Amino acid sequence: MAKDQSSKVFIDGEAGTTGLQIRDRLAGLDGVEVISIDSALRKNESARKEMMREADAIILCLPDDAARDSVALADSLGEDSPRIIDASTAHRTAEDWVYGFAELFKGQADRIAGARKVANPGCYPTGAIALLRPLIDAGIMPADFSVTVNAVSGYTGGGKSMIADYEKGTASAFQLYGLTLHHKHVPELELYSGLTRRPIFVPSVGNFAQGMLVSVPLHLADLNGSPKPADIEAAYGAHYSNAHSSVRLVDTATLNGRIEPQALNGTDDMELFVFADDALGQAILVARLDNLGKGAAGAAVQNLKLMVGFSS
């Protein structure tokens, strides 16, 4: 669809945190008309089906099972079925869906632009994949490398119950979770990073609403060719030089070995950092993003722009 044509977008689940963020971002976007269902009819299948029939694209901001049902409803429209962006976990590793991370590798933005069904990435995997995929593609990190991913998110990524606990002041200031080692984001993290060995993923949440840090510690001598920190930075620079990239490498020289998670709140960008000591042969790779921006709503809008013909 050309940029000068209006596209109708239906956000199925627009009353949730991600849905509201997406709606806010689309409000100022020329050429996109958000169509909404009466709140009393949100669970009415016939009304939702007619809304889907009217839409050029739908964005699903629903729990996994509800998202699957919504996709089935859209598919039942046949030739009138809209294009779909699913922000749930339901389809992120499905073979017939395109993964909605435009910076994944060269040509991924074009695949998203031509796709009928796009799975929006999870917030944690977005940061981890951004750090790992360029190193695996460049041959610096073996695909079977033993990787640990540590991450901390603002509490808005934890769903209604967690948000309520923090806003009431009843939640702890900081907590690790996912310690069963079966966090739902691990399959997509492993698949799209290019790893062939399941990574260890240690998520956590802090007492702040938005923001995220994802970090990967490394012994450089364990990587192929014992790379220097500059080699890692060069791999990132080459990987994220494409026109669709909202990812940028940041110089760590003036940061005094510290970084906080909220600097990108309200943006759809992601920053990468290589904290390293060449003499020690150690590095800590860090991605910073807004868990509701590039980690959710921002990615959905980026994908929508590609799908309806916007250049950026």
| Residue 123 designated active-site | yes
φ and ψ at 216, to 5 degrees? -130, 115
Closest CA to 232 of 214, 242, 219: 219
Render 101-144 in DSSP notation, one character per residue.
Answer: -TTSSTTHHHHHHH-SEEEPPPHHHHHHHHHHHHHHHTTSS-TT
Closest CA to 203 of 176, 174, 184: 176
Residue tagged active-site, from 123, 195, 247, 292:
123
Tokens 């009217």 identify what position?
54
Taking a C-beta distance cutoff of 8 angstroms, is the pair 7, 56 a contact? yes
Closest CA to 188 of 293, 113, 94: 94
* C-alpha distance from residue 13 to each of 43, 67, 124 (Å): 10, 9, 21
- Which three-class secondary structure state does DSSP give residue 19? helix
By annotation, the residues acting in catalysis are: 123
